[in-house]
């Protein structure tokens, strides 16, 4: 099992999670619940999300940040790799309900 240092608990925190494996990865670096080949990109994305206060803070070139519609209205999406995304929403200046999913 690969490990990656993703403990970035300074300032605002991601306050809630939908994906248990992603939460464990963020808190411990364990890749048991995420794709190992995504670990570097996930670590970077979670570090940014953990400090973000607005969607503009997450608008990184190549991440294709965009608001979601329909049942997921209010959520934002960033691309991790191919069909894989992290989706989340802001609660004031905190990030909540972070999920990691394959769109297709």
The answer to whether residues 99 and 16 touch, using CB atoms and an 8 Å cutoff, is no
Q: What angle do CA 16, 86, 14 make, to 5 degrees?
A: 25
Residue in the block written with tokens 């995304």: 85
Residue whose pair of structure tokens reads 């248990």 in the numeric block:
20
Among candidate residues 19, 38, 66, 104, the one labeled active-site is 104
- C-alpha angle 103/28/50, rounded to 5°? 60
Told to judge if 19 belongs to the known catalytic residues of this protein, a careful annotator would answer no
Which active-site residues does the annotation give? Answer: 104
């Amino acid at each position: 099992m690969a490990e990656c240092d993703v403990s970035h608990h300074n300032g605002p925190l991601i306050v809630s999670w939908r994906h248990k494996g992603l939460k464990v990865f963020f808190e411990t670096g364990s890749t048991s619940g995420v794709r190992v080949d995504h670990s570097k990109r996930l670590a970077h994305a979670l570090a940014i999300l953990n400090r973000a206060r607005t969607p503009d803070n997450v608008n990184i070139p190549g991440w294709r940040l965009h608001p979601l519609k329909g049942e997921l209205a209010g959520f934002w999406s960033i691309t991790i790799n191919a069909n894989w995304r992290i989706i989340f929403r802001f609660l004031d200046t905190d990030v909540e309900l972070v999920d990691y999913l394959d769109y297709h």
